[in-house]
Chain A
Amino acid sequence: MEALTALFAGFETALTPLNLLWALVGVTLGTLVGVLPGIGPALTVALLLPVTAKLPPVSAFIMFAGIYYGGMFGGSTTSILLNTPGESSSIITALEGNKMARRGRAAAALATAAIGSFVAGTIGTMLLTFAAPAIAEIAVQIPPSAKFALILLAFVTVSATFGASPLRGLTSLFLGLAVGLIGTDLQSGQARFTLGRPELLDGIEFVTVVIGLFAIGETLYVASRLRKGSPSVIKLAGNARMNREDWRRSWKPWLRGTGLGFPFGAIPAGGAEIPTFLSYSLERRLTKHPEEFGKGAIEGVAGPEAANNAAAAGVLVPLLTLGLPTSATAAILLAAFQQYGLQPGPLLFVTNADLVWGLIASLYIGNVMLLALNLPLAPVWARLLLIPRPFLYAGILVFSTVGVYSLNNSVFDLLLLALFGVIGYGMRRFDFPVTPAIIGVILGPTAESQFRTALQQSNGDFGIFARQPLTAFILIIVALALILPPVLRARAARRAR
């Protein structure tokens, strides 16, 4: 019940006219960037960070939360009408939803995606409301060595366990860790890897890395392999809406998708892909219309879309209670907290209760706004897909420049931005995932500081990592997460031969 009292206080913060306005700005921007190719919620929050430095933290986070949820809603529009998933968790929606749209059922596909996202987002936010304070209470007692082990777990699950190639994921992570090392060591004051340049003494701003890898890298890569001719966008006549039959076939997949998505988001095991795939195969097994699957079955859109949004709510649990991001956007939200001098984690619920609960309350409000924005306005969002690509990508590049240049008004930062853009191009060309590098840059310094604090408390005895029971337990899971997938893959390959 304590959670409810706190939540009501949060609504008092979030329901002020100004904060409602910021929530509206956030969900609108979020939907916009979800719809537009080449730009996602992670990049948008990173771009806005320097610009929002003068806002009060609560308002900024209410806007960021709107962008986070809005990106999920907008992504389904692109998947359904253009058949091009912006992120791997929208692959299923693109598969099944685009087939529906081609059969003339675009309105129903968009509606079941939007209403399913609303249902999943709202239930997910409720689960977050009650789970987060309980976990935060336990998390206060976690020692530094176990915190380090938890960060390792996030590193391994984000980069090695679920990607196509663990080796490439880990390489990306280590690239991020290496970038995070640059600058003055906070504990000893030693300069590290600065190559004698005074600009590097403060380290490289993660905003530069994120914008370079995402925006500049994407622009360069798309330019080099541009799809010729205009994209085939499916025409949408009227609002997104469903008939009685669609409702009857959608509501159970929404609930099942939510049930699958939230826990996968909440355990530090990375990503919304797995639950969307699971939800899809579950719905295919349970459906009364198996012949429609692969040709545009509404269950195949409703379930995965709900799973996707429930996972997004779940990701906020480890982020807010442990300070552990398991997606690129969560990592940037973590960095945003740090920019305001706040450290997400158990203490945040005590020291900044109004901020945390204002943020959680705004998630409920944002979900309602998103539903209102997406059902009647679906045709408007669909038109955005027709923006000419030369002007779209030119705009992305210029806003990226503003974002990075306004950090320090320094040309050196822009040159770094170009460097990370080239690296981002190479990562796309050579199949290295970008998210592990982002997590590495943002979480690497925290990992190092917990590692050293743990060793200082044990007077340099590395045995602390084996003797502290919780730490040892997490480290065993880390080892299994590293070793098991390749072993299983090798066995499967041998059997197939």
Chain B
Amino acid sequence: MPDVPPSVHPDAPPTSPAGRRGVSVPDLLVALGVTGLGVALLIGTLQIPFGINAVVGPRVFPLIVSVGMTVLGALLTVNALRGERAEPAAEEDTDPNAPVNLGAAGIILGGFLLGAVLLPTLGFVLGTALMYFTVALAFGERRWGLMLLVSLALALVTYEVFTRGLGLTLPPGVLRGII
């Protein structure tokens, strides 16, 4: 692993003045999470009943996967404790030096979950328009009228294309009879 300057990790704890890199808490938590997932899978595996008349039962493969996951998690934990930290991916539209804005991701996730839960009641058009609106909002768009218009228009066009053109069934919801 190449040494990464701490400036790349705005959310990592600052290094001590002596220059020794401390343990990165987020990395350690991820490693422990993988280990925990492995253990949980192992517990789940032991609850699978043995197959009848099978040379290799339904338990063998899950056992391999869960033990493997636990071992990988343990190795990741050891590495994290030795000060290894992950380098966040660089994507086409990201800036590695930009301050991390978890709020924007939270808005998208919140809008998506709200839209998903309300989708059967509100209908497909209003549900996805809500999602569209929150993503645009999270990406920094502030022309409210335009956002509202584009969200509704795009959701409506998508609905019409997929239901009429491709024969999918999507819930009309409160707009039943209108669209």
Contact = CB atoms under 8 A, between A and B. Distances in A.
A426 to B, nearest CB: 7
A394 B139 contact: yes
B98 A394 contact: no
Interface in B120-179: 120, 124, 128, 131-133, 135-141, 147, 150-151, 154-155, 158, 162, 166-171
A99 B49 CA distance: 61
A167 B34 contact: no
A418 B113 contact: yes
Contacts of A418: 109, 112-113, 116
A187 interface: yes
Contacts, number: 227
Contacts of B131: 394, 397-398, 401
Interface in A140-179: 165, 167-168, 170-171, 174-175, 177-178
Interface string B49-77: 10110111110111001101100110110
* Secondary structure of the A contact surface, majority rule: helix
Contacts of B32: none
A444 B60 CA distance: 13
Interface residues of A, number: 77
Contact of B58 (A38, A178, A188, A219): A188
Interface in A225-245: 225-228, 231
Contact of A415 (B26, B44, B94, B113): B113
Nearest to B171: A409
A14 to B, nearest CB: 23
A294 to B, nearest CB: 20
Contacts of A218: 91
* Secondary structure of the B contact surface, majority rule: helix
Contacts of A339: none
B85 to A, nearest CB: 9
Nearest to A460: B55
Nearest to A445: B61
A224 B102 contact: yes
A171 B34 contact: yes
Nearest to B90: A84
B86 A225 contact: no
A444 B69 CA distance: 14
Interface string A98-124: 000000000000000000000000000
A455 to B, nearest CB: 5
Given A181-B65, A406-B162, A409-B170, A225 B94 contact: yes
Interface in A243-298: none
Contacts of A411: 116-117, 119-120
Given A181-B61, A188-B54, A391-B150, A37 B92 contact: yes
18 contacts: A50-B168, A84-B92, A86-B92, A167-B75, A167-B76, A171-B73, A174-B68, A219-B108, A220-B108, A221-B91, A394-B135, A429-B89, A430-B86, A431-B86, A431-B89, A452-B61, A456-B55, A460-B56
Interface of B: 1, 26-27, 30, 34, 37, 41, 44, 48-49, 51-52, 54-58, 60-62, 65-66, 68-69, 72-73, 75-76, 79, 86-89, 91-96, 98, 100-102, 104-105, 107-109, 112-113, 115-117, 119-120, 124, 128, 131-133, 135-141, 147, 150-151, 154-155, 158, 162, 166-171
